[in-house]
Amino acid sequence: MKYYPHPLLAKEGWFYIVLSIVIAIILTSYNFWLGLPFILIAIFVVQFFRDPPRVIPKEPNIILSPADGKIICVEPCLDVYQGTQSLKISIFMNVFNVHSNRCPADGNVEKLTYIPGKFVNADFDKASVENERNAMILSLANGDKITVVQIAGLIARRILCYTSVGSFLTRGQRYGFIRFGSRVDIYLPLNYKPCVTIGQKIKATQDIIAKLEG
């Protein structure tokens, strides 16, 4: 099963990709050595905005990773957006990761909360409560509610979220994007068992990060 209604290069990057390539071509045609750094910049921009399709696991009662990156937190804590004790799993995306955000499970968007804030390194724990962020509460078919939080990072200055309250999202569906390094936190009910460990590298949609126990 695949969900992929968009090009291999993220639409959010088309302007930057075209601009960097045009500048590289112009400068290289004038002087190769002058244009070489801009060729490398263009290559970086293209790889940053790549957005490959992913195979979506079909197992029931699973939570998929909403982002590419590295697991930096797996711990019980308070979900401040719902006011409940939860299992928190945090994923750090560096500038070499794919930056599309995808829905971790089938569910209805119950609430969206945008909070302006700082732009400290997204690898720091305080980024979860101090940085600019956008929280989505998703109501699942079994009655569980999960929270997925897009968090801006040190370089990231734009969080994009394309869904709205009342929308139904399917697992693996692309719903947002964060530019240039960031973080995603996901809060799950305590009856979910983590399937990842700190330091593990994962990919959005295709990797399972938690399963419902029982």
Give the three-class secondary structure for 173. Answer: coil
> Which of these is catalytic: 20, 65, 86, 182?
182
182 catalytic residue (yes or no): yes
Going by DSSP bridges, is the β-strand pair 145-152/182-188 parallel, antiparallel, or unpaired?
A: antiparallel
Residue 179 · residue 204 · CB < 8 Å? no
> Rounded CA gap, 134 and 149, in Å?
6
Instruction: Provide the CA 41 distance to its chain's centre, in angstroms.
Output: 23
> What is the CA angle 204-105-192, rounded to 5?
95
CB atoms within 10 A of CB 179: 21
Residues annotated catalytic, as ranges: 182
